[in-house]
Amino acid sequence: MVMQRFTDRMQAGKLLAERLEAYANRPDALVLALPRGGVPVGFALAEALNLPLDILLVRKLGVPGHEEVAMGAIASGGGRIIRHDIVKMLGITDEAIEETTRRERAEMQRRDLLYRAGQPPPRVEGREILLVDDGLATGATMMAAVQALRTRRPARVVVAVPVGAADACRLLSDEADEVVCLRMPEPFHAVSPWYDEFPQTGDREVIDLLERAYGFPRAGNAAATAGRPDAQARRGR
């Protein structure tokens, strides 16, 4: 059977919604997307299921000098995953790991200020969380996200992605309550070939989609939006 490619991230999110329709309109459910590429997928999913959308910030820890290769990942809330096989194979020092971690935490803090504009993260405890990205390659980034999320005591964590490596999906199935992956091609080389359109998702797009999901501006004007009566309702607090 030939696996079809996705048109773009939005279409992929709508197809995910068909598999997750049991969560539609549930007051205890929340879509958390991983910026940046996971946000368009999460937006389309949340819109189709009539659920609130928010983000969980995660950063890949790239191998020094070869940043496209992940040696681990960090997530907001303190989660960190280290791929010890990569670290050992490449002889990466503890100092290099810590320096990379410090740099990526600083970038994560920058994005938190930019995307949230001073607003606190949504309530997670006791809720059904649909954790979304545009694909899984090694699974390290999503693993860090799941582990960080667990510290906030959600009722259930469902990892939802349009495409992923079978090994990464199996790895995540040991950590998440459920993994929903629409395409698991063999062999798997990368996420991008499974989309007709796969442009880099920029900060502006993330902010625009979050503002559309919230129904009011959130970036650069926190004071003006913090007291709006629809803010708390749309966040599902």
pLDDT by residue for the chain (237 residues), tens digit each? 567 999 999 999 999 999 999 999 999 999 999 999 999 999 999 999 999 999 999 888 999 998 888 898 888 877 788 989 999 999 999 999 999 999 999 999 898 889 987 778 889 999 999 999 999 998 988 998 998 899 899 999 999 999 999 999 999 999 999 999 999 999 999 999 999 999 999 999 999 999 999 876 654 444 333 333 333 333 343
Q: Looking at residue 13, what is its pLDDT?
A: 98
- Total domains, the chain: 1
Within a domain: 187? yes
| Alpha-carbon span 40 to 23, nearest angstrom | 19
pTM: 0.84
Tell which residue, 111, 175, 167, has the closest CA to residue 136: 167
Provide the greatest CA pair distance for the chain.
Answer: 54
The partner residues of 70 in beta bridges, in order of sequence, read: 62
Range of the domain at 31: 9-58+121-219
| CATH number, residue 135 | 3.40.50.2020
Q: Please tell me whether the peptide bond between 35 and the residue prior to it is cis, using omega within 30 degrees of 0.
A: no
Tell which residue, 53, 56, 45, has the closest CA to residue 15: 45
Q: Token pair for residue 27?
A: 């007051």
Q: Looking at residue 222, what is its pLDDT?
A: 40
Within a domain: 85? no
